[in-house]
Amino acid sequence: MSVTRCPAILIAAPASGQGKTTVACALARLHARQGRRVRVFKCGPDFLDPYWLTLASGAPVHQLDLWMTGETDCAQRLHDAAQQADLIIVEGVMGLFDGQPSAADLAQRFGLHVLAVIDASAMAGTFGALAWGLQDYRQDLPFAGVLANRVASEGHALMLKDGLRDPAQWQGALMRNADFTLPERHLGLVMDGEIGDAMARLDAAADALAATPLGQMDGVALQAWTVDFEAPHRVEEDGAADVLRGCTIAVARDAAFCFLYAANLDCLRATGAQLVFFSPLADSALPACDALWLPGGYPELHAEVLAANSGMKKSIMAHVSAGKPVWAECGGMMALFDTLVTVEGVSHAMWGVLPGQVTMQQRLAALGPQQLELPGGVLRGHTFHYSTCTTPLEPATRTRAAPGRTLRGEGEALYVDGPAACVKASYFHAWFASSPAAAARLFSKGQP
């Protein structure tokens, strides 16, 4: 069995919003600047953090999740990365022990050392209790120490360090600093490309981290985090290797449609598809293509521009009228309906491919891991959206909860419409590699 060794760290926290992404980016940027090859992964389903992690590391960022992507997929990606990298960084999801499976489960399965990031802005001695609990709540969890974030002063940092039962676990403190704050909105972080000083923010974070014990670890010190990554046993392919050969898929990719897993693009290419990218915001027509993919994103933030782009609307309508396949997920589906109503109550006429209306809500409408059963296989994935839709269309099928989970209400609808049932749309975000054959059916004519 092939085994590859590489230092690896999982950046975790007691909860969301503690600063995991900032620290993961700072660590990646710091070592990349020093000439090391850094590979970063994101634990769980997330489209936005990887934009920043990619910028910081200079390499594509893939997801790791013991259920959604699968243990074998995780093992293969980590093994492949270890062959190329000097350091592997995995950013956790939510709190260390949150979710089924959790970031802790991933760390324990692969022997990843865990660094706990704690927002210490409103605490002193309790910092030590949190650090101790994260380290000792589960036996045999490799622990690399704790980093205090959003610290008020050097004096505050000393109080935090003094509260630790084991001072050797202290990896330093990052002071509260707007220079490396990563901006957020309703679905998560603002993308790096939307602000003009993204790299400057990452460099500022890396500079701050460089003054901590964590940031002062050199190539020799990193060997303390070394992990042996075994190549998984190969499983039989699901027969999708050439199913899309000769098919050109136009993929929407801009500020309105940006929720794209890099691994999903790789998966489509592996099935033989050729991908071409376009912007529904800026382009007046689709590129020459056999199928269309409208991924999730923020159509609600760009509804006025999308509605005014009559050329793109006509091009998409012509594509559908010709019976060419369309797969639209979440934000992509929202743009296909007749009307989009913003959270302020403003209505925008959208592309009119599907009958009905989507309406933005103040609160999350759905969240969680789900799976979609299709004749070609079962696609794993998740749902995460703030809008609801009203349509006369009847769902062709619905997603089901992930094993061990329950749904509040019904699963996400899969709508199938258009000539020869060419349009397939859902709020569901699919992880294509969970069933490449089923993913390929989304870009084929007829019922999936």
Q: Which residue in this structure is represented by tokens 């330093």? A: 172
Which is the catalytic residue, given 25, 247, 330, 389? 330
Question: For residues 423 and 326, is the Cβ–Cβ distance under 8 A?
Answer: yes
Q: Is 330 among the catalytic positions? A: yes
In angstroms, rounded to a whole number, what is the distance separating the alpha carbons of residues 9 and 114?
A: 6
User: What is the full DSSP assignment across 212-263?
Assistant: STTTT--TTGGGGGEEEEEPPPP----S-TTTTTT-EEEEE-SSSS-B--HH
In angstroms, rounded to a whole number, what is the distance separating the alpha carbons of residues 277 and 283?
A: 11
What is the distance in angstroms between the CA of the first residue and the CA of the last residue of the chain? Answer: 38
E strands, 38-112, where? Answer: 38-43, 62-64, 87-91
Closest CA to 311 of 255, 351, 353: 351
Which residues 6+ apart lie within 8 Å of 197 measured at CB? none
User: Which pairing describes strands 354-360 and 337-341: parallel, antiparallel, or unpaired?
Assistant: parallel
Return the DSSP state at 296.
Answer: B
Question: For residues 431 and 381, is the Cβ–Cβ distance under 8 A?
Answer: yes
φ/ψ region of 172 (left if φ > 0, alpha if ψ in -120 to 50, else beta) reads left
User: Which pairing describes strands 226-230 and 3-12: parallel, antiparallel, or unpaired?
Assistant: antiparallel
E strands, 55-182, where? Answer: 62-64, 87-91, 113-119, 143-151, 170-175
Name the residues annotated as catalytic.
330
